[in-house]
């Protein structure tokens, strides 16, 4: 069976969140995967290991109260950048924009760095 390309992995990764199907993530995450989340601001949280990353992303993917909207995916070898919107409510300002910088090795995600735009605190 051929090893999935970076584009294949990113397509399936994004589908997991769009379709709220955490099972699509199962074969995508490397044992040594490391990620940095966008929350808590300003530096996020470091998540290490296949199971920890699967648990974190799986909970996000399964959340039907939110909506993930990929805007653009750029692929350069084993690297990918996903530009996205994440809607967490029904109000006009209940969303955030961001990017994930990803690395794929041998058809599995090994690194994911999340960055988002946030408004400065008022006052």
* Exposure string for 95-118, b = 16+ CB within 10 A, e = fewer: ebebbbebbbeebbbbbbbbebee
Instruction: Give me the pLDDT at residue 111, please.
Output: 98
Residue at token pair 């074969």:
27
> What's the pTM?
0.91
Q: Give residues with Cβ within 8 angstroms of 112, minimum separation 6.
A: 33, 34, 35, 36, 53, 100, 101, 102, 103
Residue 59: enclosing H or E segment and its boundaries?
Answer: helix 50-62
pLDDT band at 73 (very low <50, low <70, confident <90, very high): very high
Q: Domain ranges in the chain?
A: 6-116
CATH architecture of the domain 6-116 equals: Roll (3.10)
What pLDDT, in 10s, does the model give residues 44-58? 899 999 999 999 999
């Amino acid at each position: 069976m051929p090893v999935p390309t970076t584009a294949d992995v990113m397509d399936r990764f994004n589908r997991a969140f769009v379709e709220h199907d955490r099972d699509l993530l199962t074969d995508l995450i490397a044992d040594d995967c490391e990620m940095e989340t966008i929350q808590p601001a300003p530096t996020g949280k470091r998540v290490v290991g296949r199971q920890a990353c699967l648990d974190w992303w799986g909970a996000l993917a399964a959340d039907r109260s939110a909506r993930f909207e990929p805007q653009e995916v750029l692929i350069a070898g084993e690297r990918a950048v996903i530009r996205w919107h994440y809607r967490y409510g029904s109000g006009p300002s209940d969303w955030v924009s961001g990017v994930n910088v990803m690395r794929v090795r041998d058809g599995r995600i090994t690194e994911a760095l999340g960055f988002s735009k946030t408004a400065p605190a008022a006052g």
